[in-house]
Amino acid sequence: MAVRRLSGKQRAFVEASLGEAKWNATEAASIAGYEGDRQALGVRGAECVKNSRIQQAIAQRLAESGASTAELVHRWLTVTRSDISDCITSAGEVNIRKLQELGLGFLVKGAKPSKEGAVIFLRDPEKAEQMLAQHLGTFAAEKLTVTHEFASLTDSDLAKEIAAAMSAEGSGGQEEAE
């Protein structure tokens, strides 16, 4: 069983990722007991996410719960593609009932009270796109360091550089992150 091969903190990271942290690796690292500031926790969380034993444990827990990768991908796609403009009232408020009727209640990440009423937090479509890209292997989690003088290029020349880089990547230059 993959979960038994994990350290206590790694098991706690798996449980936090699937639960309270809601897939936020930095938050899961904090909940699991890793120490450091937010940046250090972010680095530790990213390391945990890349750990093959942790990935196996998460997959196993999802399988045990009946969730599938396809289901998660579908949810991420729904977050990225959902248009909730019909659920916004003329006062600019989110109509939660309408979201639920449309089967989009899961888009609400949370809420907190304010003087004017509740402040609603929605899931981030850009984060969902990032999760999809990582899952599909089209995006590496590492940050890119730019050393070329791109600022001096014209828009046309920059477009050519980007097209050349994408062409090179599509021809097999892409490496899978471990």
Nearby residues of 110 by Cβ (< 8 Å), 6 or more positions away: 120, 121
Q: At what angle do helices 25-32 and 38-50 cross, to 10 degrees?
A: 100
CA atoms within 13 A on the CB side of 173: 8
Residue 122 is given by DSSP the state: E
The distance in angstroms from the start CA to the end CA of the chain is 21
Q: What is the pLDDT of residue 152?
A: 63
The answer to whether 132 touches 79, Cβ cutoff 8 Å, is: no
Supply the pTM of this predicted model: 0.43
Overall residue count recorded for the chain in this entry? 178
For residue 142, is pLDDT > 80? no
Confidence of residue 137 (pLDDT cuts 50, 70, 90): low
- Residue-wise pLDDT for 69-105, tens only, equals 677 777 778 888 888 888 888 888 888 888 888 888 8
82 three-state secondary structure: coil
For residue 116 the two structure tokens come to 């004017």
Neighbour count for residue 9 (Cβ, 10 Å): 15
Q: How many whole angstroms separate alpha carbon 31 and alpha carbon 142? A: 23
- Residue-wise pLDDT for 114-129, tens only, equals 887 778 888 888 888 8
Confidence of residue 29 (pLDDT cuts 50, 70, 90): very high
Q: Mind listing the domains of the chain with CATH numbers?
A: 2-67 (1.10.10.1400), 70-125 (no CATH)
Locus of tokens 């719960």: 65
The answer to whether 87 touches 101, Cβ cutoff 8 Å, is: no
Q: What is the pLDDT of residue 99?
A: 85
Locus of tokens 């940046």: 39
Mean pLDDT of the chain: 77
Any bridge partners for residue 151, and if so which?
A: none
Q: What is the pLDDT of residue 175?
A: 39
Q: How many whole angstroms separate alpha carbon 150 and alpha carbon 112? A: 43
Q: What is the pLDDT of residue 158?
A: 66
